[in-house]
Amino acid sequence: MNLLSLVCLAGCWGMVGCVESAEKDTALPGDTALPGDTADPVDCSSTAGTLEGVVYEDYPWTVRDTGEPLLPAGHARINISQQDVDPFTAVADSEGHYSVDLQQGVWNLLATDSGEGCSSDMGLSVEIVACETVEFDIHLTDCTLGG
């Protein structure tokens, strides 16, 4: 049986970051089955979930209505905030992908690009559920500069 060890770190903002590592081992009495095993599923006791998605360039001057795929906004910044929690910033990779572990609850998001002066719509929010992954793509549409 593959056992999964999970290391969780408490952050300054009450967030929890978890790192998974799988290793071969033998089952011990009381072990919980992993997803895909035939036994009962893992009981999640975490209060954190994962938010992930892609930030896209959906600028007013780009061709939106042609059916062409939108370009990812590489290295976009996603400002994340919640009442009574200090805001912080996650940075998308070069392909616009981002992923962050957050405590359960409703979080406010505002993404910005790295040069066009564009951001996502104000008032984006997403609900994080413990032990679940929420996929949430963000479109940069509001620009102060233009091409």
Percent pLDDT > 70 in the chain is 63
Q: Tell me what the pLDDT averaged over the chain comes to.
A: 75
Give this prediction's pTM: 0.67
Phi, psi dihedrals of residue 100, rounded to the nearest 5°: -150, 140
CATH 3.30.1490.190 fits 48-143, yes or no: no
In degrees, to the nearest 5, what angle opens at C-alpha 83 toward C-alphas 81 and 88?
Answer: 25
**pLDDT confidence of residue 125:** 97
Residue 46 predicted with pLDDT over 60: yes
pLDDT-based confidence at residue 138 (cuts at 50, 70, 90) = very high
